[in-house]
């Protein structure tokens, strides 16, 4: 079990990440992304997913969580470039958001990442979840989500 120690150490340092920086996440600033990716849900901030996730999402839009979200190639490529350039690990940056995400794992949902689960599990009442409809509906519980504010 040579991985036990590093994972335990990570869990220990990852806990305070959101006490300090997680309440704010730069909202989408790119016009085309804002327009095209907010039709069915909020335009999720690029900094919530790693580069490989955005690439995967942007190259599988014909089957996007059961919907067809296809775009013309020029818009698709422009949006992918914006999301990748602003991703959690852009420019080799490390991010507490990638806590416990294996390098060969490509999360497609923010709401299924380990940090997300540890922030939300046990914090959300079933009444609130029912009202929101899904954990992907950030703005239902975080009224400042469009401005990048995710505090209570
Ligand atoms: C035609 C509707 C539609 C459009 C347009 C659309 N999406 Fe989605 N998207 C969905 C649906 C449906 C889900 C699943 C929502 C749920 O689980 O409640 C989803 C989920 C997601 C998720 C995962 C949310 C989570 O953490 O659970 C991401 C990331 C995402 N979309 C990115 C994008 C991006 C980037 C674009 C713009 C290129 C986009 N979407 C445009 C319908 C759409
Ligand atoms: C059903 C309600 C609900 C939904 C939907 C929801 N959250 Fe949360 N979120 C909470 C609660 C409750 C907390 C814990 C209390 C707190 O710290 O704000 C929380 C905490 C957080 C935190 C930590 C904030 C801090 O103060 O440290 C972040 C970041 C966050 N959520 C982002 C998101 C994102 C991104 C989405 C959508 C993909 C989302 N949430 C969807 C209810 C929700």
Backbone angles phi, psi at 24, to 5 degrees: -125, 130
Q: What pLDDT is attached to residue 22?
A: 60
β-strand partners of 149: 24
Rounded mean pLDDT, 10-27: 60
SS3 at position 121: coil
Question: pTM for the complete prediction?
Answer: 0.91
Residue identifier of the C-alpha nearest atom 41 of ligand 2: 138
The chain-wide mean pLDDT, for the chain, equals 89
Residue 1 falls within a domain, yes or no?
no
Residue 12 falls within a domain, yes or no?
no
Tokens 């849900």 identify what position?
41
Q: Which of 137, 41, 44 is nearest to 83 (CA)?
A: 44
Whether the per-residue pLDDT at 4 is higher than 80: the answer is no
Residue 26 falls within a domain, yes or no?
yes
Whether the per-residue pLDDT at 2 is higher than 50: the answer is no
Of 11-15, 54-58, 98-102, least confident by mean pLDDT is 11-15
Rounded mean pLDDT, 36-59: 98
Give the ligand 2 atom nearest the CA of 134. Answer: 5
Q: How many helices (H) and strands (E) does the chain have?
A: 8, 0
- Domain residues for the domain of 51 are 22-147
What's the 107 CA to ligand 1 centre distance in angstroms?
Answer: 13
Residue 107 falls within a domain, yes or no?
yes
Residue among 57, 110, 119 whose CB has most ligand 2 atoms within 8 A, to mutate: 119
Q: Please, what sign has the CA dihedral across residues 85, 89, 95, 100? A: positive
Residue 8 falls within a domain, yes or no?
no
Residue 4 falls within a domain, yes or no?
no
| Cα–Cα distance for residue pair 2/91, rounded to 1 Å | 29
Residue 9 falls within a domain, yes or no?
no
What's the 32 CA to ligand 1 centre distance in angstroms?
Answer: 15
Residue 50 falls within a domain, yes or no?
yes
pLDDT digits (tens, 9 = 90+) for 88-136: 999 999 889 999 999 999 999 999 999 999 999 999 999 999 999 999 9
**How many domains would you assign to the chain?**
1
């Amino acid at each position: 079990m040579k991985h036990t120690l590093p994972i335990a150490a990570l869990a220990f340092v990852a806990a305070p990440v959101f006490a300090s920086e997680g309440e704010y996440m730069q909202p989408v600033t790119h016009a085309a992304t804002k327009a095209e990716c907010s039709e069915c849900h909020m335009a999720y901030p690029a900094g919530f997913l790693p580069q490989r996730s955005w690439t995967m999402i942007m190259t599988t839009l014909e089957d996007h969580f059961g919907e067809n979200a296809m775009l013309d190639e020029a818009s698709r490529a422009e949006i992918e470039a914006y999301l990748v350039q602003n991703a959690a690990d852009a420019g080799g940056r490390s991010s507490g958001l990638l806590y416990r995400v294996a390098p060969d794992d490509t999360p497609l949902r923010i709401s299924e990442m380990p940090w997300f689960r540890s922030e939300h599990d046990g914090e959300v009442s079933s009444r609130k979840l029912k009202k929101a409809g899904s954990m992907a509906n950030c703005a239902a519980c975080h009224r400042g989500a469009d401005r990048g504010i995710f505090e209570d």
